[in-house]
Amino acid sequence: MNIMGLGMRMRALVSGLVLMLAAVQVLAASDVQSVRLWRAPDNTRLVFDLSGPVKHNVFTLTAPNRIVIDVDGGNLPKPFEQLPLKNTPISGLRAAKFGADTLRVVIDLSAQVTPKSFALTPNQQYGHRLVVDLFDEGAEPSGSTDVPATTTPSTPAAPVSPTLPALKLPPLPSSKRDIVIAIDAGHGGEDPGAIGPGKTYEKNVVLQIAKELQRQINAEKGFRGELVRTGDYFIPLRKRTEIARKKGADLFVSIHADAAPRSAAYGASVFALSDRGATSETARWLADSENRSDLIGGAGNVSLGDKDQMLAGVLLDLSMTASLSSSLNVGQKVLSNMGRITPLHKSRVEQAGFMVLKSPDIPSILVETGFISNPSEARKLQTASHQQSLARSIHSGVRQFFHENPPPGTYVAWLRDSGKIASAPREHVVRSGESLALLAERYQISLPALRSANSLKSDVIKVGQTLNIPATTLASQP
């Protein structure tokens, strides 16, 4: 055999060995390493942790009811661990080889469900995953989750919603409804959020603060707190605002305790949505981190469907302008109250492209209660006393805002119009891009009244200037 022929055979042999090794690696990358389960109010989520990507097929069988998941090339090195199946439609979980190259997983059911499945690629917390959502009978599966949502860091898109804001009918003059505060505990389920020293999970800390805030709000007549997430389960970011809207929320408060690249970073922050991008590098970094949550949970892309995008964009922008003005107002009040009980990271409300704040019809703020990556703040955030103080400061800011700006038809509006509560004078520090006319509109007072209260001879104001905002005096409702 000549040297050329020998070389060709050697190359072929090497190529074959490489292919064999690749095949072994693919096979080894198909192990089901563990299974995790979370129960939500209307669905049960199973997450299969995998050592590599897999192809799968899901179908249902009856008599008895069960879900079958066939995983191509899958292996189960060890039996499934005991799962918390109480209060779920799952009565059992088993697996066995089906044919030579398929792992068949069978979910035995005690109630009818609608399954939905999708695969997720690795992220900061987990490797490859197969997610199977079992929606209770009557529950509507959320939008497509086959393609995880993507975000564009630091360049927030224009506000977009799959549906136009619902029309709010004028309340009856005699009605005295509660002001509804939607309290959103960030993260949850397979998305732990930031992880502090000693495996302190953000999702657990913020749920405790959210429940305490709800308790304090519900103790005051005329207000009602509604939790968006009541337990340890994942909710996509857009679904959170949908839940708030269904509960009739007048304000959306999302609570977080994020991490920073430097463990020395400390202090609380309050954010509102920015349509021009983040106002600081910290805001941009935090916004990108939060928006990646949908990649962890596998939320799908949002489509406008058959709606005219230009018309929808104009209407949503008009609604967003009013919502953002109120968000900045209530955010500053919350931040000022938080500054009395904990150090602040920034002394003013920051703005960034948080997806969870993009509700066009509900004023929305995101409260960073502290940096869980800071060992000192992580210890404080876990204590009941500090959680109560944080909740009290948020509650105080929210109360101040609604005492000054009560929605028509609410009990608080009736109190204000009956002279039982007074609108106190306020102060406002002028920020870049603000005008006197804009501030008059934001605080619902006339431009001449604002000019007079500050002895201004013109409408020219300067960044950093402190303005006195006079108390509003609205006529009593009929």
pLDDT at 469: 81
pLDDT at 178: 96
The b/e string for 254-282 (b: 16+ C-beta within 10 A; e otherwise) is: bbbbbbbeebebbbbbbbbbbeeebbeeb
Pick from 230, 236, 232, 234: nearest CA to 183: 230
Pick from 183, 169, 164, 171: nearest CA to 406: 171
pLDDT of 289 strictly over 70: no
User: What is the average pLDDT across 309-335?
Assistant: 70
pLDDT at 317: 52
Residue 148 pLDDT grade (very low, low, confident, very high; cuts 50, 70, 90): very low
Task: Give me the percent of the chain exceeding a pLDDT of 90.
Answer: 50
Residue 355 pLDDT grade (very low, low, confident, very high; cuts 50, 70, 90): confident
Residue 3 pLDDT grade (very low, low, confident, very high; cuts 50, 70, 90): low
Whole-Å CA distances, 101 to 56, 97, 412: 12, 8, 66
Residue 454 pLDDT grade (very low, low, confident, very high; cuts 50, 70, 90): confident
pLDDT of 20 strictly over 60: no
Residues 384, 389, 392, 397: what is their CA dihedral angle, to the nearest 10 degrees?
-140
The pLDDT tens digits for 213-232 are 999 999 999 999 999 999 99
Distance from C-alpha of 122 to C-alpha of 129, rounded to nearest angstrom: 8
Residue 233 pLDDT grade (very low, low, confident, very high; cuts 50, 70, 90): very high
Q: Spell out where 323-444 has E strands.
A: 350-352, 364-368, 426-429
Helix (H, G, I), strand (E, B) or coil at 448: helix
Q: How many CB atoms lie within 10 A of CB 413?
A: 25
Superfamily of 423-469 according to CATH: LysM domain (3.10.350.10)
Residue 472 pLDDT grade (very low, low, confident, very high; cuts 50, 70, 90): low
Distance from C-alpha of 143 to C-alpha of 300, rounded to nearest angstrom: 6
Bridge partners (DSSP) listed for residue 433 = none
Indicate the domain borders of the chain: 28-136, 179-302+321-404, 423-469
pLDDT at 316: 47
DSSP state of 236: -
pLDDT of 204 strictly over 70: yes
- Specify the range with the lowest mean pLDDT, choosing from 46-50, 154-158, 231-235: 154-158
Pick from 112, 444, 145, 166: nearest CA to 296: 145
Whole-Å CA distances, 25 to 18, 202, 460: 10, 35, 69
Residues sharing a CB contact under 8 Å with residue 82, sequence separation 6 or more, in sequence order: none
Vertex 357, ends 353 and 176: CA angle to 5°? 155
Distance from C-alpha of 4 to C-alpha of 229, rounded to nearest angstrom: 69
Amino acid identity of residue 392, one-letter, is R
Distance from C-alpha of 354 to C-alpha of 171, rounded to nearest angstrom: 31
pLDDT of 18 strictly over 80: no
Tell the residue number behind the tokens 């269904």, with chain if given: 246
pLDDT at 301: 35
User: What is the average pLDDT across 343-368?
Assistant: 88
Strands 364-368 and 251-256, how do they pair? parallel
pLDDT of 309 strictly over 50: no
The pLDDT tens digits for 244-265 are 999 999 999 999 998 888 888 8
The pLDDT tens digits for 149-186 are 322 233 333 333 333 344 344 444 456 999 999 999 99
Q: What is the mean pLDDT of the chain?
A: 80
The pLDDT tens digits for 117-139 are 999 988 878 899 999 999 998 87
CATH architecture of the domain with residue range 28-136:
Sandwich (2.60)
User: What is the average pLDDT across 372-401?
Assistant: 95
Sign of CA dihedral 272, 336, 239, 163: negative
User: What is the average pLDDT across 266-285?
Assistant: 71
Total-model pTM: 0.71
pLDDT at 275: 65
Bond preceding residue 64 cis, omega within 30 of 0: yes
Helix (H) or strand (E) holding 106: strand 102-109
Residue 432 pLDDT grade (very low, low, confident, very high; cuts 50, 70, 90): confident
Residues sharing a CB contact under 8 Å with residue 389, sequence separation 6 or more, in sequence order: 341, 342
Helix (H) or strand (E) holding 102: strand 102-109
pLDDT at 12: 55
The CATH topology of domain 179-302+321-404 is Aminopeptidase (3.40.630)
The answer to whether residues 58 and 115 touch, using CB atoms and an 8 Å cutoff, is yes
pLDDT at 478: 28
Residues sharing a CB contact under 8 Å with residue 343, sequence separation 6 or more, in sequence order: 266, 267, 268
pLDDT of 450 strictly over 60: yes
